[in-house]
Amino acid sequence: MSRSDVDERRRPNTGLLATLASPADLQRLPAVDLRKLADEIREQLVRHVTRTGGHLGPNLGVVELTIALHRVFTSPQDVIVWDTGHQTYVHKMLTGRLGRFDTLRQAGGLSGYPSRSESEHDIIENSHASTALSYADGLAKGFQLTGSLERRVVAIVGDGAMTGGMCWEALNNIAAAPDRPVVIVLNDNGRSYESTVGSLAVQLRALRTGTARGNVFEQLGLAYLGPVDGHDTLALEAALRTAALLQHPVVVHCLTRKGAGHAPAELDEADHHHTVNPARADVATSQVRGPAWTDVFGQELVAIADEREDVVAVTAAMVRPTGLFPLACRYPERVFDVGIAEQHAVTSAVGLAVAGLHPVVAIYSTFLNRAFDQVLMDAALHRAPITFVLDRSGITGPDGPSHHGMWDLALCGLVPGMRVAAPRDAQQLRLLLRTCVDHQAGPTMLRFPRGRSGAALRATGNIGSAELLTDSRPEVLAAGQPEVLLVPVGPLAAAAVDASHRLRELGIRTTVVDPRWIIPIEPELVRFAGEHRLVVTIEDNTLPGGFGDALARALRRTASRPEIITLGLPGEFAPAGERADLLHTYGLDAEGITHAVATAV
């Protein structure tokens, strides 16, 4: 880091924004100063988020809206719930957290989402989309039942989040209770990660242009105000004050632009949503030797689709982030973006499979949690040949506890007929993806982490479909079968091989086997593991119900019953932090594996 960068970070915050310690201070600010305040907020957003990484575009788009909300409503007396929570950076600045923005999305620092531990102004921690209206419905019911009628409930919902089914389930309930006022602020910017899809986008476009023949919200029984210019603070205040006076559920339709006021964010079609820290990105790139996992998947899927006309893809509002953009460019009619609707994505894929196609459902691991019932009762029950590709599996990094993909193995281990593969490197990803797509007897799943793959690891032998990663020549093993077997999941194989070398230097005979297919546990792997005195499984998945648990259960049914140590993530929410740092914290790097084995033997 340069001297100028350090000085810039230490530079005190000055101006209007620095004088606002709470929303009460904002409410006393003269209206004439609001434009200057908005400019200062944008300057701070760009200054901090381009260093730390995060969701720059969404927050630039809600500057005036957030100011207006906190001038009209009195938080935390009035409850303000955001959907999704990545658009709360301005809210954090206006509720006393400006001084912590140099720690945004860092270990022990400011969360990139609402955080109840940070502030009384964050009553809900919502980082998965389409939840705010359900929270708001419950809060309004609760305030009515407890006599807290002076407390108002406000939900800010992005139009992208409105593509999710939970929003409409909540609207169905909110609109049915006209005596329970909920203010629904529809932040309409035409996008989630991608452009908003489906009939809803058409309806909102008609409302924006004044060509709507009807109003879907009014037809449900909600009051409707707007459209309102979402970058005109005074117009927003007027609309919100009107909404606050209504004793009836109301939608305030606000038109905003992602990235507003910062040309690079507004003009970047591929990344209105995020920004990255260039300095950190350069460091990370210099330390890796392989391509990005997501890119490898996207390229190989295009190659498969070139060969097979039955291969199609489904995603939930994340064509670019999940690697499907190259396929969508080549075969747009074979890629289906269903919006932020993971449940629908899975069951729709079952329909595609029944119709004779092979759907590849590309989704972040953390978001698959939302569709577990559909994976179980729709995909598995029908033995549908679907390939689920789980990006961001395991430890993901600075997005924190809601975004670590640490439950997929535990969940999928419950699903009858499910087969799960975990590639250790880019070459294995290509091979295992093809095997998954070729499988016709039921659903398969391929999981890989965020970031870049490492160097390819050469196999030295096979144990069924598993592969040995340490030297298995007869002369090497002449002294007897290695005492310790390391069984890593996916890219943790590199750390296991490193640990094996360190352990051999300590005189502990060790071998490493990559199972490749981790659900179900293959009999050949169980037999081989039973020949060792100590078996150590390594996974960045929650330990309860994970791969280690499954192998331990299988080994308990054998006569040998070796000692087994399961290394993984505890059954708790993991904090934000860089992937390498968190793997070290949980003992899942070479140092931690070496220590665990050396202590045990």
pLDDT tens sequence across 294-352: 999 999 999 999 999 999 999 999 999 999 999 999 999 999 999 999 999 999 999 99
Instruction: Give every CB contact of residue 223 below 8 A, 6+ residues apart in sequence.
Output: 243, 246, 248, 249, 250, 251
Predicted pLDDT of residue 98:
94
Q: Residue 11: its pLDDT value, please?
A: 47
Neighbours of 246 (CB within 10 A): 12
Q: What angle do CA 248, 203, 247 make, to 5 degrees?
A: 5
65 in helix, strand or coil? helix
> Phi/psi at 363 (nearest 5 deg)?
-155, 150
Is 237 annotated in a binding site? The answer is no
Residue 13 assigned as binding residue: no
Extract the tokens encoding 464.
């069924």
The order of strands in the sheet holding 335-337 is 335-337, 311-315, 358-364, 387-391, 444-447, 419-421, 517-519
Q: Both tokens of residue 422?
A: 């975990």
Which residue type does 392 have? Answer: R
Question: 86: annotated binding-site residue?
Answer: yes
Q: Using one digit for the tens of pLDDT, what is the confidence trace for 57-85? A: 999 999 999 999 999 999 999 999 999 89
173 is in an annotated binding site: no
Q: Give 263's contacts (C-beta < 8 A, 6+ positions apart).
A: none
Q: Which of 66, 29, 31, 71 is nearest to 45 (CA)?
A: 66
CA 308 centroid distance within chain: 30
Indicate the SS3 state at residue 213. coil
Residue 130 counted as an annotated binding residue = no
| Of 299, 384, 309, nearest in space to 346 by CA | 384
Q: What pLDDT, on the 0 to 100 scale, is given for residue 477? A: 46
Looking at residue 324, the DSSP 8-state letter turns out to be: -
| pLDDT (0 to 100) of residue 282 | 35
Active site residue 579: no
159 belongs to an annotated ligand binding site: yes
500: which 2 tokens?
């094996």
- To the query of whether residue 370 is one of the catalytic residues in this protein, the response is yes
What whole-number distance in Å separates Cα of residue 501 and Cα of residue 490?
19
- Residue 169 assigned to a binding site: no
Asked if 359 and 312 count as a contact pair (C-beta separation under 8 A), the reply is yes
Domains and CATH numbers, the chain: 15-279 (3.40.50.970), 289-447 (3.40.50.970), 462-600 (3.40.50.920)
Q: Any idea which residue has 């290509």 for tokens?
A: 430
Q: What is the pLDDT of residue 6?
A: 40
- In the numeric block, which tokens belong to residue 322? 């999940």
The letter for the amino acid at 19 is T
Contact 128, 84 (CB under 8 A): yes
Three-state DSSP class for 511?
A: strand
Whether 342 is catalytic is yes
Q: Which residue has the tokens 């909102």?
A: 204
Maximum distance among all alpha carbons in the chain? 84
Sign of CA dihedral 245, 246, 249, 250: negative
Task: Identify whether 575 is preceded by a cis peptide bond (ω within 30 of 0).
Answer: no
Does the pTM surpass 0.75? The reply is yes
Is 266 one of the annotated binding-site residues? no
Of the listed 342, 467, 522, 539, which one is catalytic?
A: 342
For residue range 99-137, list pLDDT tens digits in order. 999 999 998 999 999 999 999 999 998 888 999 999 999
Residue 298: which residues within 8 A CB-CB, separation 6 or more? 323, 324, 325, 326, 327
445 forms bridges with which residues in the sheet?
Answer: 388, 420
Gyration radius of the chain's alpha carbons: 26
Element (H, E) at 173: helix 165-174
Q: List the catalytic residue out of 92, 370, 447, 452.
A: 370
Q: Is 554 annotated as a binding residue?
A: no
DSSP 559-600: SS--EEEEEEE-SS---S--HHHHHHHTT-SHHHHHHHHHHH
Decide if 487 contacts 554 (C-beta within 8 A): no
- Residue pLDDT, tens place only, 356-388: 999 999 999 999 999 999 999 999 999 999 999
128 assigned to a ligand binding site: yes
State the SS3 of 216-267. HHHHHCCEEEEEEECCCHHHHHHHHHHHHHCCCCEEEEEECCCCCCCHHHHH
Q: What residues in the chain have per-residue pLDDT under 70?
A: 1-14, 191-195, 268-289, 472-482
List 42, 105, 191, 258, catalytic entry:
258
d(CA 76, CA 47): 28
